[in-house]
Structures are given as structure tokens and as C-alpha cells.
Amino acid sequence: MEMEWSASGNEYEKLVLRMNTPRVVIDNAVCPTATLVTVDSARRHGILLEAVQVLTDLNLSIKKAYISSDASWFMDVFHVTDQNGDKLTDESVISYIEQSMCTIHCGRTNDYNGLTALELTGSDRVGLLSEVFAVLANLQCNVVESKVWTHNGRIAALIFVKDCDSGCPIEDSQKIDGIEARLRNVLKGDNDICSARTSVSMALTHTERRLHQMMFADRDYERKPILKAGAESPVVTVQNWAERGYSVVNVQCKDRSKLLFDIVCTMTDMGYVVFHATITTGGDYGYLEFYIRHTDGTPISSEPERQRVILCLQAAVERRESQGVRLELCVADSRGLLADVTRTFRENGLNVTRAEISTQGDMALNVFYVTDAIGNPADPKIIEGVRQRIGLSNLKVKELPLVCHKKVEREEQAVGVGGAVLVSLGSLVRRNLYNLGLIRSYS
């Protein structure tokens, strides 16, 4: 009897594993302009985000997507291209997508073993990043990786460091306390006594998701947006479809890389589940429609909550929008490099609005977006002067990477963007099923 139970138990475990392991199909034959990535799996909170994360971490563009789920199962179809707008042909990339999608039920994080993670939030100001890196250099901390976002006058930074001398993570509690205290004083400055925060994170998580969480906790979405000339706010509408118990969210904004990730990330962390969605792009715009509920199955229940969702999704779109000139630094890594480079920016009146710091071997590969002190485009002469000081061959001006639209197909735009029409909201489910090939017509 014990042997029979053991055997049946093993079969049950295999069945559970099969049910919880997503199935992935990658097809280059169906669509002439994009590769189709189809994922179906048992539904659970956060699995859509993890699937999108796999694609965006490879810097792939999601041109269209159809998401549909019932009570316990979901299916996603993504139309993706590489950064040049071409279909995926690299077998190693295709294999990586298949393997990663099949293991998303395990959860995925960045691998920062051997590093100490510092989290900082506070009021942004010109030269703040220079002061932060100067403190870390003074405390013998080598910055290995970092991402910095600014939005609505706030800053969030994730900085991964190790001890300069030993090359090991910083584990001494006294030194960690000293680092936190020094950085907190820098962040406070004269104007941010209450809301400046520093912490050492031991949990490994996806860096960009963590930045969204940090800025959300900092309530950057409640602050008055700082819009520059020519800038457009994302158009977000939220309405309830009472007959089906959904809240319908429409987003219209300029298309860019990782747009779907940013929106789904925020909705997931706010406790909403996406049951159905249609994402399309046309020209340089993205149109996204989501049918959502709370994790307890209820729709949005009040006007204040509806307004909060609108503000939070607008913030999610805006945080990654790059303002300023893109400067790329490629140079041999050295102690105090970041402190020296960002001090040069500060001394020339340049403000860093976003930064991505990385090292490969003994080389520093860093990207900075800079404006003048009040957020306007920087004077080209000042940029050229900064480049001469740092090294013309080391610091280069790069055009902002654009989302590639090789062929704009005639697409039905997302229903109700900028003013949803409740009568047509029910078309989403039928349209999803049509695009998945499960029905002949959604008309």
C-alpha cells in the first residue's frame, strides 16, 4: 500500500508541475512583421508581469498583445520584434525566451550576489547624485551597478556596491549604519527633513520593478507634474463595466520600450489582476486596454480609488521617460570615477535626470540623461565642454533610442481611449478570442 501511495503521489506531483508550468510557442510564420510568442498557463497573481518582464529584459519591442483568461487559466499572445524592428531569428534568444517563460512560476530576480544593495529616495536637486557618489567613494564603497530615476521632483536610486579593498559585500553592521546615516544627511539637504529615506536591501528583486515600488511608496504620483514644453501627459481613463464586474482601464501615450512592463508592474503592485487586455501600436503611439479586478475579484469601488489609479498609471508611464541629452561613458573603471564625472556635471550646471551604471570586467559602461538646472535642454556648448574635460573619446552624445515601427499596420485602436464608450467595452473578449484564432469573427 505504501508503494502504491508513493507512486500515485509522484504522479500527482508530476500533474501539478505540468499544470503550473507555462506552455510556450514561438512562431515566425503567422505574422509577416513580428514573431508571435504565445504563453498559456494556470492563472496566478503576477504571472502576466513575469511574462512581460522576460521579453522586456531582452529589450524586445511588444508591438501588439492579446491577453485573455477565465477563472483558472490564461493565454497571452505577444507580437514582438528586436530593437531594429525585425522578427527574432537568433536561436539563442528564442531558446532563452522558451526556457525563461517555462520557469516564470518560480519567480525571477536579478542576480546581485556578492553586492550590497542601497535604496535611496528623496527630493531631487542639481548635484545630488554627485554628492551621493562622493560619499560612497569617501567610505570606500565601489559602485558596481546602479539605476536612478527622477520624477515630479523626486529621486529613487538603487545602488549596488562592494568594499573597495576586499571586493566583498559590506556586511559589517556598524559600517552599514554609517553609510545609511551619511547618505540620509545628503538626501535631506535643507528641504527634505521628513521624507528622505535610505535602506540596505537584502531581498533580491527586479531592479526596475523595485524602482517603481520605491517611487510609488514615496507617493510621487501625488505631486504636481513637471511638464516641459512640448511634453504630453499620458491619457488614462477608468470606467466600470457593471454587467461583467470589471473595471476597464485605457491608456494612450507615446510608444516606447518597456511601456507595457511599466503599466502592468504598477497595476500588479497595486493589487489588481488583469483578466483581459489588448495592446496595439500605431505610428509612435501605444493604445492599451485592460479589464481588471482587485485580487479579491471586485472592481474599482469609489471615485477616489478611480482617480488614484489614473494618477498612478500616469506616473508609471512618465517615470521612465528620458528628459535631456543622453551621454554614454565608456572608460576603464577606477576608484571615485562616478564621483568625478558627476561632480563635473554639477560644476557645469547639468542635472542628471536618469542614470544607468554598470561595469563589465574592468570597464565602466554608464548612461546619463542630463538637462540644465531647471530641466530645460542643456546648452550644446556646455555639453561639449564637459566632454572635453572627461575625454571626448570616453563620453559621447547619443541620440535617444526610438521605438522602431518598420510597418504601421491598420489597426483598430484601443476602445475608448480618451473617453471610453461603455457600449463597446464588451468587444474586448470577442476580439481577444478572434485574434487568438478561437472564433471566426468578433463583429
- Is residue 12 predicted with pLDDT exceeding 80? no
Average pLDDT, the chain: 85
- Rounded mean pLDDT, 1-21: 53
pTM: 0.85
- Is residue 408 predicted with pLDDT exceeding 60? no
- The tens digit of pLDDT for each residue in 284-293 reads 899 999 999 9
> Does the structural domain 116-223+323-398 have CATH classification 3.90.170.10?
no
Lowest-confidence pick of 214-218, 221-225, 238-242:
221-225
- The tens digit of pLDDT for each residue in 376-389 reads 999 999 999 999 99
Q: What is the dihedral of CA 121, 122, 123, 125, to 10 degrees?
A: -70
Domain parsing of the chain, residue ranges: 22-108+233-320+407-435, 116-223+323-398
pLDDT for res 423: 35
Q: Which residue has the higher pLDDT, 431 or 237?
A: 237
pLDDT for res 442: 45
Read off the pLDDT band of 283 (50, 70, 90). confident
CA neighbor of 279 nearest in space, from 262, 293, 300: 262
- Rounded mean pLDDT, 181-192: 85
Read off the pLDDT band of 438 (50, 70, 90). very low
Q: Which residue has the higher pLDDT, 439 or 182?
A: 182
- The tens digit of pLDDT for each residue in 97-110 reads 999 888 765 444 55
Looking at the chain, the whole-number percentage of residues with pLDDT higher than 90 is: 65
pLDDT for res 109: 54
- Rounded mean pLDDT, 186-214: 82
- Is residue 8 predicted with pLDDT exceeding 60? no
Read off the pLDDT band of 230 (50, 70, 90). low
